[in-house]
Structure 1
């Protein structure tokens, strides 16, 4: 005889409801009992309303399919991707901004630090204030702030539109002689006073700095509130899966940023109005840097509206348990603020954590600086166009990094190495990275074909051109690059033959740099990809060492301490340090005037040898210092348990 199946939860609830209705029919309820029933119903209806998707009272039934974890994961992941896209897109258009507004690399480095300053300033106060409030709403507020700040970065383009010549005929830069002597007659001499509407550097810097500061504030709201909201609304066993998806898709943001930057910088700043004869390969090319900002801002606004509609909780049972647990902790331990000094002291005396903190700062500082100015280096060293440099940085850098992180995670999950093995690999990866960067100091081009000694070929003797201005409008002739047609000794243009009479060249000059004859780019790419892959494979192990060297209750505090140190000591000074290093290798500056007040702008021409050595040498030095801390961790890692079985 078959045993009757046990009723499920829905059947039990239905039976209990019927019994209550029957009792209510048989026994008249008192006013007190009625008030309790009505209060319970009101509370249940209120909880039901809190779990619906919508905007305020607008909660259509057709949109309730959005009120689930997967929908939030998708929208939240898209927001994270767009944030990463903005950061690397701004890096991709830095060269264009420097040329357009005459900004030195040190200044752009300070601009990049503004985002980190915003994150550091809000990373502790914001989560504390919003932890008990409607988190999707505050995530949406942060995303809207990020969208508005991204849109406002276009303001300099609207206030100070660039003056674009109708053509780039090299004849514009011919040198002529008159009774006052030979002079450069291009209308572009640095001795003239520019229009008063030329953008004041400090005003432009202020606009962009405030925008990037707001970007940092908005990013903090999304990251620090989105992850806990996701964790509170999924089962504990599903949290690792959701987190791995979130982290995995975030790596796509930087890749998309460089791809978008490549597309926009390939377009002229006014699409369809590029001067006759100018191409993206010309060093004076100005890309449509503002176009990507509009695109990113629009998508961020859409995702912010979608996030706002999510309810305060997606898991009512888990939400009630979390509230009860927090209340019990407050009763048992008192206010959290009273435990803060004790917890902080416990972390500071943890030697392994302090070593991990120093190592994390020294790992991130050179990598962040490298990727910030890598497109500029590739343009200068290998004469790549801006869009080509951005594509390379996105694929050979960020995408390879993602492959390394994913592969190492799979290896650690399946092989379960002990802590000493993980610590040893972290140290080895840092040493390999430092050695690879040292090797890249010798993999570059010396650019001997560019005539920069006294801005004229030593063999050139001419009566026509003896005082060319220091303007950068390069031309190629006789397989040599001259700074301008004036520096090539060209003084007459023949309208019949369409050729120039030049004292320093035997062939007619053509606009732009001469094609590079250096064949070391492929070697550079191979070494770079290998060391990035090796170093990124240590990221998961580094995170595990940080989490396992402290008490379980101190994990969040330990990560917060490491992130704060990275922000203050790594991300903030890093662009400034590398910007100063890049500027120190400049050979030819652009000087601009605003109301006849001269100021130094961006750099037209870098010393390729110094750029290569300083750029990679600094990165190698910082990573070598990081390896020393990693080696120290290796000798102390025997007490760390990476896996439960170890």
Structure 2
């Protein structure tokens, strides 16, 4: 009777939220308490797979470290696909809704704003709840993000500008189609500017709101997911698990960019026949189509995350074999307060390795963010490639090298187990190599593309284009025999329109082509519809080669950087520290960087898609000046990050990445414990 009462007393003590150190119980009683904690208090339900009707004994064999790595990596792949798809279609969105690059940069940081506001708080309070289910909730917000973004097309349609460039437009209203074509010509009797469709602020606000929603899911997934992986695996396995999950996640941008390239090859209204080719800068692809595919894939990922247990069976067995010190060191959820959180913040600010490593990452992200978001746009403007080709090169080709870099680094870390100093040194070397590669970008220019910045933008006072009535007419470029592109036939001084035997539109009587060898009054002064052909393919291939090399080298530092971040803090601070780091990175890097580089790109715009009084998207840039300004600015920030990584190298001399006592025997014991747990799992939940 006395023994039974003592057991009941111990079980009751486990229901208390916290046991002070002076009242610590004996080792034997502590072991009994630990068993009750997982087997008596919750009956081991924290290690059960599934939820609702999606559960059963057959699922219990899936509650393994390997299965979580695969699931986490694939879910991260889907999330990365959504952000890559947005970056790949951003130039199409700018053209469709007349959005300046600076504004599109602000839109793209919406997810980082919400990540900044929620990451630390969610990491602190949700870090000790059912983390996989919280990650599933985050993925449901990603589903909403995909559906909200695609719904713009169904609300606003393809747009009048896109419909005017289809064959069906002329068949429906030939008179209106003729008027539209005549707007490109010089009309001495007309007065005033021709009003174009105004840029709409509602779609811009809609896109920004969708990005805000996605940031909550991003914060939950990355903050909780990495901590869950590290807590449920032995330290010797963590590098390989991180590398494998990172590799799977990095397939996301590859697939996302490929999906974008496929969708952008279709016209924005696939049922209509366009009159222009994909190489024409006015081409608008079916940007909205991929979001429907991504919404379905994200929903499936959310359901799979919901099925994972709160704690892996193998992790529970390891925890029971160790002393139950974590229970005393970490406050339970119902005793957590804002003051405790601020005390943890103060502790982290005194951790020099954590601070320097975080700041080095922030500077690297600030500089490299320009390429993550604007690389397709950079390729389109610098090397005159189509949107589909730009997204394919950025995603499928370049990111494949990123995935290879992650796998190679993960294998090297797992096999050779380098010290913390070696890892920090490698991070610094990667930063300096990246700076050298970016300086190569400056030298990889295309003369034909740079020559387009001499495009004639004559003022209204010039007799040649005075009948255009304003500086900014509808952008409809034409090419002269001297391979000079003009904004429109009107700016080339053309007064007539005809068609040749191939069906191409030819503008004649073009008085502004004074650079040709023929006299201005000659009838042969003509211009062909569309921009002049520019051959930048060789330069484009060189750029892609350098980009692939930088992707390979840069990806090799992802695992080393994350391992230093995970090991430089106590286990009980891990989830919150990751959330705090995400918040600070969003505040200082992810949010201001796209806005800054968007503003920088807009500063070198030559031709704005304007109405008489409103600015829309940019159609043509001063490519040479833009190339220098963009790349040198990015290199400067990454260089500063490299110097901070040297500071990390100095302070991590005593940091231990791997446990010395872990051996092959421990790994076999973990496997044996895991198999016993699966065999002893209850048949029903």
TM, length-normalised to structure 1: 0.80
Maintained 8 Å contact 2:123/2:579: no
Q: Do the aligned partners of residues 394 and 427 (structure 1) sit closer, same or farther apart at CA in structure 2, a change above 3 Å counting?
A: same
Deviates more, 1:136-145 or 1:493-502: 493-502
CA distance in 2, matches of 1:282, 1:260: 20
Return the offset for 1:296.
0.2
Which of residues 559, 563, 568 is equivalent to 1:540?
559
Q: Could you list the per-position Cα deviations for residues 169-204 of structure 1 after superposition, in whole angstroms to 9, with x for gaps in the alignment?
A: 995454244446xx7xxxxx854264xxx6631x22
Q: Could you list the per-position Cα deviations for residues 203-232 of structure 1 after superposition, in whole angstroms to 9, with x for gaps in the alignment?
A: 222211111111111222233344455556
Return the offset for 1:86.
0.3
Which of residues 507, 512, 515 is equivalent to 2:530?
512
Maintained 8 Å contact 1:52/1:59: no
Q: Do the aligned partners of residues 465 and 502 (structure 1) sit closer, same or farther apart at CA in structure 2, a change above 3 Å counting?
A: farther
Maintained 8 Å contact 1:423/1:542: yes
Which of residues 109, 115, 118 is equivalent to 1:122?
118
Hey, what does 1:208 align to over in structure 2? 207
Q: Could you list the per-position Cα deviations for residues 346-383 of structure 1 after superposition, in whole angstroms to 9, with x for gaps in the alignment?
A: 43233343322221111111112222111111100100
Q: Could you list the per-position Cα deviations for residues 205-262 of structure 1 after superposition, in whole angstroms to 9, with x for gaps in the alignment?
A: 2211111111111222233344455556667765555443322211111111111111
Return the offset for 1:580.
0.7
Q: Do the aligned partners of residues 145 and 477 (structure 1) sit closer, same or farther apart at CA in structure 2, a change above 3 Å counting?
A: same
Hey, what does 2:493 align to over in structure 1? 489
CA distance in 1, matches of 2:317, 2:616: 56
Q: Do the aligned partners of residues 429 and 541 (structure 1) sit closer, same or farther apart at CA in structure 2, a change above 3 Å counting?
A: same
Return the offset for 1:342.
4.9
Hey, what does 1:569 align to over in structure 2? 588
Maintained 8 Å contact 1:120/1:564: yes
Maintained 8 Å contact 1:433/1:535: yes
Hey, what does 1:584 align to over in structure 2? 603
CA-atom RMSD in angstroms:
3.8
Q: Could you list the per-position Cα deviations for residues 113-148 of structure 1 after superposition, in whole angstroms to 9, with x for gaps in the alignment?
A: 111112222213224443454444333222122102
Hey, what does 1:6 align to over in structure 2? none
The residue matched to 1:138 in structure 2 has which SS?
A: helix
Maintained 8 Å contact 1:171/1:485: no
Hey, what does 2:478 align to over in structure 1? 475
Return the offset for 1:482.
2.1
Hey, what does 1:266 align to over in structure 2? 265
The residue matched to 1:587 in structure 2 has which SS?
A: strand
CA distance in 1, matches of 2:41, 2:580: 42
CA distance in 2, matches of 1:331, 1:531: 44
The residue matched to 2:205 in structure 1 has which SS?
A: helix
Query: What are the equivalent positions in structure 2 for 1:185-204 lying under 5 Å apart?
Result: 191-192=194-195, 194=197, 200-201=200-201, 203-204=202-203
The residue matched to 1:109 in structure 2 has which SS?
A: helix
Q: Do the aligned partners of residues 329 and 527 (structure 1) sit closer, same or farther apart at CA in structure 2, a change above 3 Å counting?
A: closer
Hey, what does 2:87 align to over in structure 1? 91
Q: Could you list the per-position Cα deviations for residues 147-170 of structure 1 after superposition, in whole angstroms to 9, with x for gaps in the alignment?
A: 022101123222222121134999
Query: What are the equivalent positions in structure 2 for 1:460-471 lying under 5 Å apart?
Result: 467=469, 470=472, 471=474
Maintained 8 Å contact 2:99/2:616: yes
Hey, what does 2:452 align to over in structure 1? 450
CA distance in 2, matches of 1:418, 1:570: 28
Hey, what does 2:509 align to over in structure 1? 502
Q: Could you list the per-position Cα deviations for residues 90-117 of structure 1 after superposition, in whole angstroms to 9, with x for gaps in the alignment?
A: 0000000100101111111111111111
The residue matched to 1:605 in structure 2 has which SS?
A: strand
Return the offset for 1:394.
1.2
CA distance in 2, matches of 1:566, 1:473: 42
Maintained 8 Å contact 2:363/2:641: yes
CA distance in 1, matches of 2:317, 2:443: 58
Return the offset for 1:82.
1.0
Return the offset for 1:51.
5.9
Aligned length: 586
Deviates more, 1:338-347 or 1:280-289: 338-347
Q: Could you list the per-position Cα deviations for residues 311-346 of structure 1 after superposition, in whole angstroms to 9, with x for gaps in the alignment?
A: 555529818957976544458999565665554334
List alignment gaps of at least 5 residues for structure 2: 1-35, 168-176, 517-523, 662-685
TM, length-normalised to structure 2: 0.76
Maintained 8 Å contact 2:98/2:200: no
Maintained 8 Å contact 1:73/1:230: yes
1:627 aligns with 2:625: no
Hey, what does 1:613 align to over in structure 2? 628
Deviates more, 1:599-608 or 1:81-90: 599-608
Q: Do the aligned partners of residues 131 and 191 (structure 1) sit closer, same or farther apart at CA in structure 2, a change above 3 Å counting?
A: same
CA distance in 2, matches of 1:221, 1:455: 50
The residue matched to 2:444 in structure 1 has which SS?
A: coil
Deviates more, 1:552-561 or 1:353-362: 552-561
Q: Do the aligned partners of residues 190 and 259 (structure 1) sit closer, same or farther apart at CA in structure 2, a change above 3 Å counting?
A: farther
Hey, what does 1:372 align to over in structure 2? 373
List alignment gaps of at least 5 residues for structure 1: 1-39, 184-188
The residue matched to 1:267 in structure 2 has which SS?
A: coil
